[in-house]
């Protein structure tokens, strides 16, 4: 295979994978949450021309005050308490035409969560393309336990 063909193929795979990236739509970064309360976590996944099959997600919660610094470790190292693990089936809703396909999950913040910064982290897996190839990502937001 020529270098230009290999470069083109790798560019397509990276672009296709990037188009599958999900994000946390709700709660917003910095939002206050209460220990022991139920919250909605909205996971958004923009639509793509590249075909994909969702494998699933995991949603974790980790208090940052348990560490020596105010920053949490990378979610790729530790997710914390698992709040949800299972299927992911993002859909459009009739509520707003500007929203990407998404799915809402009601989860419970651990009652033992200490006041201060915490992170909600998500691990997302899908199969992308005609091949397909595996696509995995981990992302997070910081919230404040009040």
Q: Are 60 and 53 in contact (CB under 8 A)?
A: no
Helix (H) or strand (E) holding 17: helix 3-19
The angle subtended at Cα 22 by Cα 132 and Cα 51, nearest 5°, is 30
Domains of the chain: 3-145 (2.60.40.2550)
Contact status, residue 108 vs residue 36, Cβ threshold 8 Å: yes
**CA 88 vs CA 54, 99, 100: distances in Å:** 6, 17, 14
How does strand 52-63 pair with strand 32-33?
Answer: unpaired
CA distance 50 to 16: 6
Question: What's the pLDDT at 106?
Answer: 98
- In order along its 146 residues, the chain shows pLDDT tens digits of 554 444 444 444 444 444 569 999 999 999 999 999 999 999 999 988 889 999 999 999 999 987 766 678 899 999 999 999 999 999 988 766 688 999 999 999 999 999 999 999 999 999 999 889 999 999 999 999 99
């Amino acid at each position: 295979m020529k270098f230009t063909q290999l470069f083109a193929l790798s560019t397509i795979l990276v672009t296709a994978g990037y188009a599958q990236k999900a994000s946390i739509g709700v709660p917003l970064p910095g939002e206050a949450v209460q220990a022991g309360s139920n919250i909605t976590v909205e996971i958004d996944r923009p639509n793509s021309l590249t075909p994909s099959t969702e494998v699933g997600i995991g949603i974790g919660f980790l208090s940052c005050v348990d560490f020596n610094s105010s920053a949490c470790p990378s979610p790729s190292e530790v997710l914390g308490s698992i709040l949800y693990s299972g299927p992911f089936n993002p859909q459009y809703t009739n509520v707003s035409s500007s929203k990407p396909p998404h799915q809402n999950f009601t989860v419970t913040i651990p009652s033992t969560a200490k006041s201060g910064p915490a992170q909600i982290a998500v691990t997302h897996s899908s199969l992308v393309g005609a091949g397909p190839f595996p696509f995995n990502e981990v992302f997070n937001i910081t919230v404040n336990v009040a």
